[in-house]
Amino acid sequence: MSIYGLVYKDVDQVKGPLVIMRGVPGVAYEEAVRIYSESGREWFGRVLEAGRDKIVIQVLGDTEGLDSNAMVKFTGSTLKMPVSDEMLGRVFNGAGEPIDGGPRIRADDYRDINGAPINPAKRDYPDEFIETGLSSIDGMLSLIRGQKLPIFSESGLPHNEVAAQIARQVVVPGKAERFSIVFAAIGLKYDDVLFFRRQFEEFGALSRSVLFLNLADDPVIERITTPRVALTAAEYLAFDLGMDVLVIITDMTNYCEALRELSSAREEVPSRKGYPGYMYSDLASIYERAGRIIGRPGSITFMPILTMPGGDLTHPIPDLTGYITEGQIFLDLDLYNRGIYPPINVLPSLSRLMKDGIGQGKTREDHKEVSDQLYAAYSQGTKARELVQIVGEAGLSPREKLYLKFARRFENEFVAQGFRERRSIEETLDIAWNILSILPESEFTRISEKTLDKYHPKKRAEAKIKGE
């Protein structure tokens, strides 16, 4: 083994993923380091604390075989990764190294994997509708180009299928070019990774995809870098090369658990359920990398997937995520058990950017009002359903019975659709009107008379007869 340059042998202690050293002059905070064991193994790391008397290093990869005889070399710069268009079609690990047997990337540039915050004054406001072909999303939770919209799921639910279907079907209406896909797996099982690969392959997306894989048996600490490396690639594709990039990262819950592990190794004071108090800011430094920038053609649309421990929406992971992202798509066990695919429960779901991306000239003028009315009616319907549990269907008032019927049709005809079924926004809105039309007109509290006259199926039919 030959190690060039200055190395230090002042390691005091190895504690989990942390190496603690006595002071070394000239070490910078966040500097990248290489560590070598006597047996010749090599690790990457970064400086977490730089002091005159003490240095703490976070090591990537598992630290087996690392002890106080290790030699540490400081690289003089922060952790960077090479970027270029050669990343497309390639597979990397969570540290950004190729694992598909192909050559190293010839770098156009080296980028800090932590990125830098986008100046809010230089962001371009996302207001373009993206059609996913799924009625519940397009109709009621519209995805906007440059939005960060996570999927909140539970283990056992088909979030992978939903994400893959979206990746297959998404288009910006009127734009020929398809989305490039940056996919990152964090602590995933090999089967799940294989599923995504097959899907991308099947719909011919592999050549416009970049994959970053950290599997369940890969080093936990690399789960911290995986999303950062993936977003560094995405930023390059979007803001340097001008592509529309869809970033799918799954499972962010594994990321948060790795963060908790690291935090407890550092003996930090925990906040709720042992997660570190800075988890909000840490997640924000990842999620906020989505968006659009004034004067640059590309965009990053970000769809992280996370599984809610115990299906609990108030658990710190979904909770902090929801406070940062621009809404959430909530998958529901109850719907799934009733055989509804995709099992999207629209009530706790939200797309915050929807309002500016829909309507006349974008989707259809009635879109907003239809969506509002669907929400109001479906929530009445679910209330009626809860009541059935207590008083039976016979105990319902006629109005409640009607809403119960509405909820059933809404779930079976609007929300439910095939894994390979793609609906246009027109089709989606027409289905909505069909279901809404079982309600009497006095119930249309969120739809204006003008819209009602133009789009209500009954009125449309009347107008047609009159016209003939």
Partner 1 sequence: MSELIYEKGVIVHIKGPVVEADEMRGARIREVVYVGEEKLIGEIVRIKGDRAIIQVYEPTGGVKAGEYVERTGEPLSAELGPGLLGLVLDGLGRPLEVVAEKAGGPFIIRGIKVPTLPRDKRWHWSPTVRVGDGVIAGDVLGVVPEGSITHKVMLPPKIEKARVLEVQPEGDYTIEEPIAVVEHIGEKKEVKMYHKWPVRNPRPFREKLAPVELLVTGQRVIDTFFPIVKGGASAVPGGFGTGKTVALYQISKWADADVVVYVGCGERGNEITYLLHTFPELIDPKSGRPLLERSILIANTSNMPVPAREASIFMGITYAEYYRDMGLNVVLTADSTSRWAEALRELSSRLEEIPSERGYPAYLPDYIASFYERAGRVKVMGNRDELGSVAVIGAVSPSGGDLNEPVTQHTMRFVGAFWALDKELAFKRHFPSINWLRSFSKYAGGLKEWWIKNSGYDMMSYRDKAIALLQRSSSLEEVARVVGEAALSDENRLILLSAELIKESFLVQNAYHDIDSYCSPEKQALLLRTLLEFYDRAKPMIDAGVPMSEISEMKSLGDLRRLKFVPEEKFKDTAKEVISQLETEISSLIAKVG
Ligand X SMILES: Nc1ncnc2c1ncn2[C@@H]1O[C@H](COP(=O)(O)OP(=O)(O)O)[C@@H](O)[C@H]1O
CA–CA–CA angle 337, 339, 343 (5° rounding): 80
What separation in angstroms does the CA of 201 have from each of 85, 134, 168, 207, 287?
Answer: 19, 21, 10, 9, 27
Count the residues of the shown chain that bind partner 1, applying the rule CB under 8 A: 89
Identify whether the C-beta of residue 196 lies closer than 8 Å to the C-beta of residue 164.
yes
Q: Of these partners, partner 1, ligand X, ligand ATP, none, which one is at the site of residue 268 (CB under 5 to 8 Å by kind)?
A: partner 1
CA gap 272, 288 in Å, rounded? 23
Select 298 or 327, whichever has its Cβ closest to ligand X: 327
Determine the interface stretch with ligand X among 105-113, 185-193, 268-276, 349-357 (rule: CB under 6 A).
349-357
Contacts of 251 (CB under 8 A, 6+ apart): 186, 187, 188, 305, 306, 307
Q: 299: which strand partners? A: 244
1 binds partner 1 (CB under 8 A): no
SS3 7: coil
Determine the interface stretch with ligand ATP among 31-39, 95-103, 268-276, 391-399 (rule: CB under 6 A).
268-276
Determine the interface stretch with partner 1 among 81-89, 386-394, 406-414, 457-465 (rule: CB under 8 A).
386-394
Half-sphere exposure (Cβ direction) of 222: Cα atoms closer than 13 Å: 26
Determine the interface stretch with ligand ATP among 190-198, 205-213, 239-247, 265-273 (rule: CB under 6 A).
265-273
313 binds ligand ATP (CB under 6 A): no
Question: 48: which 2 tokens?
Answer: 């977490």
Cis, peptide link before residue 103, omega less than 30° from 0: no
Select 277 or 348, whichever has its Cβ closest to ligand ATP: 277
What separation in angstroms does the CA of 123 have from each of 115, 277, 290?
Answer: 15, 28, 10
Binding-site member from 273, 383, 399, 450 for ligand ATP (CB under 6 A): 273
The binding track of 304-343 with respect to ligand X, each residue x by CB under 6 A or -, is ----------------------------------------
What minimum distance in Å lies between the beta carbon of 270 and ligand ATP?
Answer: 5
Identify whether the C-beta of residue 167 lies closer than 8 Å to the C-beta of residue 202.
no
**Which string of DSSP letters, residue by residue, matches 266-290?**
TTPPB-GGG-BTTHHHHHHHHHTT-
312 binds ligand ATP (CB under 6 A): no
Contacts of 447 (CB under 8 A, 6+ apart): 366, 369, 370, 372, 373
23 binds partner 1 (CB under 8 A): yes
What minimum distance in Å lies between the beta carbon of 355 and ligand X?
Answer: 6
Q: Of these partners, ligand X, partner 1, ligand ATP, none, which one is at the site of residue 174 (CB under 5 to 8 Å by kind)?
A: none
CA gap 18, 374 in Å, rounded? 52
Q: Which of residues 163-192 bind partner 1 (CB under 8 A)?
A: none
Cis, peptide link before residue 342, omega less than 30° from 0: yes
What minimum distance in Å lies between the beta carbon of 159 and ligand ATP?
Answer: 24
SS3 18: strand
Task: Indicate the DSSP class of residue 168.
Answer: H
The binding track of 33-52 with respect to partner 1, each residue x by CB under 8 A or -, is ---------------xxxxx
CA gap 291, 362 in Å, rounded? 19
121 binds partner 1 (CB under 8 A): yes
What minimum distance in Å lies between the beta carbon of 276 and ligand ATP?
Answer: 9
28 binds partner 1 (CB under 8 A): yes
Q: Which helix (H) or strand (E) holds 355?
A: helix 354-357
Q: Of these partners, ligand X, partner 1, ligand ATP, none, which one is at the site of residue 192 (CB under 5 to 8 Å by kind)?
A: none
The binding track of 317-336 with respect to ligand ATP, each residue x by CB under 6 A or -, is --------------------
Q: Which residue is nearest to ligand ATP (CB)?
A: 272
446 binds ligand X (CB under 6 A): no
Select 239 or 336, whichever has its Cβ closest to partner 1: 239
310 binds partner 1 (CB under 8 A): no
The binding track of 347-376 with respect to partner 1, each residue x by CB under 8 A or -, is xx-x-xx-xx-----------x---x--xx
458 binds partner 1 (CB under 8 A): no
The binding track of 313-332 with respect to partner 1, each residue x by CB under 8 A or -, is -xxx--xx-xxx-xxx----
CA gap 279, 274 in Å, rounded? 11
Identify whether the C-beta of residue 78 lies closer than 8 Å to the C-beta of residue 112.
yes
352 binds ligand X (CB under 6 A): yes
Closest CA relative to residue 378, chosen from 317, 314, 301, 438: 438
Which residues of this protein are in contact with ligand ATP, per CB under 6 A?
Answer: 269-273, 277
Which residues of this protein are in contact with ligand X, per CB under 6 A?
Answer: 350, 352, 355
